[in-house]
Chains A and B, each alone.
Chain A
Amino acid sequence: MSLDLSVYGDLLTALLPELVLTGWGLVLLLVVASRHRTAADLRLAGWLTAVAFATTGVAVWWLWWHSAHAAGLATMIAVDDFRFVTDGLLLVAAGLTTLFSFGYLEREGMLAPEYYVLLVFGTLGMMLMGGGEDLMVIFLGLELMSVCVYVLAGINRRSAAGAEGALKYFLLGAFASAFLLYGIALVYGATGSTNLTLIGAQVRTLGLAHNTMATLGLGLLLVGFGFKIAAVPFHMWAPDVYDGSPTPVTAYMAAGVKAAAFAALFRVLVEGLSGITAWHQIVWWLAAVTMLVGNLIALAQHTVKRMLAYSSIAHAGYLLVAVSAGGGLGSGAFLFYLAAYILMTVAVFAILAAKGRDGERDVTIDDLAGLAQHHPALAFGMTVCMLSLLGFPGTAGFIGKWYVLVAAAGAGQGLLAAILVIASVISAGYYLPVIMAMYMKTEPSAEAHAGVRLDPWSRAVVVAAVAGILVLGVQPSRLLDLARASGATLQAAPVTPTSSPAQLSRSGH
Chain B
Amino acid sequence: MYEQWVVTALLAWPMLAAVLVLLAPPGWAKHLALGASLAEFALSVPMWWTFVPAGGMQFRADAPWIPAWGIHYTVGVDGLSLFLVLLTTFLVPLSVLGSYAYITSRERQYYALLLVLTSGMVGVFVSLDLFLFYVAWEVMLIPMYFIIGVWGGENRLYAAIKFFVYTFFGSLLMLVAILTLVYLVGERTGTYSFSYEQIMAGLGNLGPTAFWLFAAFFLAFAIKVPVFPFHTWLPDAHTEAPTAGSVILAGVLLKMGTYGFLRFAFPFFPAVAQHPVVEAVIVALSLVGIIYGGLVAMVQPDFKRLIAYSSVAHLGFVMLGIWALTLQSVQGALLVMINHGISTGALFFLVGMIYERRHSRLIEAYGGIARVVPIFAAVLTIVSLSSIGLPGTNGFVGEFLVLLGTFRSHPVAATIATTGVIVAAAYLLWALQRVIYNPLDKPENEKLLDLTPRELAVLLPLLACIVWMGVYPKPFLDRMAPAAQHFVDTVKAR
Give me the interface of A with B, judged by CB distance under 8 Å. Answer: 387, 392-394, 402, 405-406, 409-410, 414, 417-418, 421, 424-425, 428-429, 432-433, 436, 439-441, 476-477, 480-481, 484
Contacts and interface: CB of A to CB of B under 8 A. Distances in A.
Contacts of A424: 172
CB-based closest 6 A-B pairs:
A393-B135, A440-B149, A421-B172, A393-B138, A409-B179, A425-B169
Interface of B: 65-69, 134-135, 138-139, 142, 145-146, 149-150, 156-157, 160-161, 164-165, 168-169, 172-173, 175-176, 179-180, 183
B130 to A, nearest CB: 12
B168 A421 contact: no
A409 B164 CA distance: 26
B175 A421 contact: yes
Contacts of A406: 69, 179, 183
A425 B168 contact: yes
Nearest to A392: B138
Contacts of B145: 432
B134 A418 contact: no
B39 to A, nearest CB: 24
B146 A439 contact: yes
Contacts of A417: 176, 179
Contact of B139 (A393, A436, A480): A393
A477 B150 contact: no
Given A393-B135, A394-B139, A484-B68, A440 B169 contact: no
23 contacts: A392-B138, A393-B139, A394-B135, A402-B179, A405-B175, A405-B176, A406-B69, A409-B176, A409-B183, A414-B176, A417-B176, A421-B175, A421-B176, A424-B172, A425-B168, A425-B169, A425-B172, A432-B145, A440-B157, A477-B68, A480-B68, A481-B68, A484-B68
Contact of A425 (B66, B142, B165, B180): B165
A219 B390 CA distance: 72
Contacts of A481: 68
B138 to A, nearest CB: 4
A439 B168 CA distance: 20
Contacts of A436: 149, 157, 160-161
A421 B173 contact: yes
Contacts of B175: 402, 405, 421
B485 to A, nearest CB: 34
A477 B66 CA distance: 5
Nearest to A414: B180
Nearest to A484: B68
Given A476-B66, A477-B66, A432 B134 contact: no
Contacts of A477: 65-68
B66 A440 contact: no
A418 B145 CA distance: 25
Contacts of B168: 425, 428
A110 B370 CA distance: 72
A417 B68 CA distance: 21
A481 B169 CA distance: 30
Nearest to B141: A392
A112 B111 CA distance: 49
A409 B146 CA distance: 33
B67 A405 contact: no
A123 to B, nearest CB: 30
A431 B149 CA distance: 15
Contacts of B157: 436, 440-441
B179 A405 contact: yes
A487 to B, nearest CB: 12
Contact of A418 (B65, B161, B176): B176
Contacts of A393: 134-135, 138-139
A409 B150 CA distance: 38
B66 A410 contact: no
A477 B145 CA distance: 29
A476 B135 CA distance: 14
Given A394-B139, A480-B69, A432 B161 contact: yes
A421 B355 CA distance: 41
B14 to A, nearest CB: 15
Contacts of A425: 165, 168-169, 172
Contacts of B142: 387, 392
Given A393-B139, A406-B69, A477-B65, 13 more contacts: A405-B175, A409-B176, A418-B176, A421-B176, A424-B172, A425-B165, A429-B165, A432-B161, A432-B165, A439-B149, A477-B66, A477-B68, A484-B68
B138 A428 contact: no
A135 to B, nearest CB: 34
A393 B142 CA distance: 10
A421 B175 CA distance: 9
Contacts of B66: 476-477, 480
Contacts of A387: 142
The residue in A392, A436, A484 that gathers the most chain B C-beta atoms within 10 A of its C-beta is A436
Nearest to A477: B66
Given A393-B135, A477-B68, A440 B156 contact: yes
Given A393-B135, A417-B179, A477-B66, A428 B164 contact: yes
A439 B65 CA distance: 33
A425 B172 CA distance: 8
A437 B138 CA distance: 21
A477 to B, nearest CB: 5
Nearest to A401: B175
Contacts of B134: 393
A410 B165 contact: no
Contacts of B173: 421
B150 A439 contact: yes
A128 B244 CA distance: 57
Contacts of B65: 477
A484 B176 CA distance: 21
Nearest to A481: B68
Contacts of A409: 176, 179-180, 183
Nearest to A429: B165
B142 to A, nearest CB: 7
Nearest to A408: B179
A367 to B, nearest CB: 17
A374 to B, nearest CB: 13
Contacts of B180: 409, 414
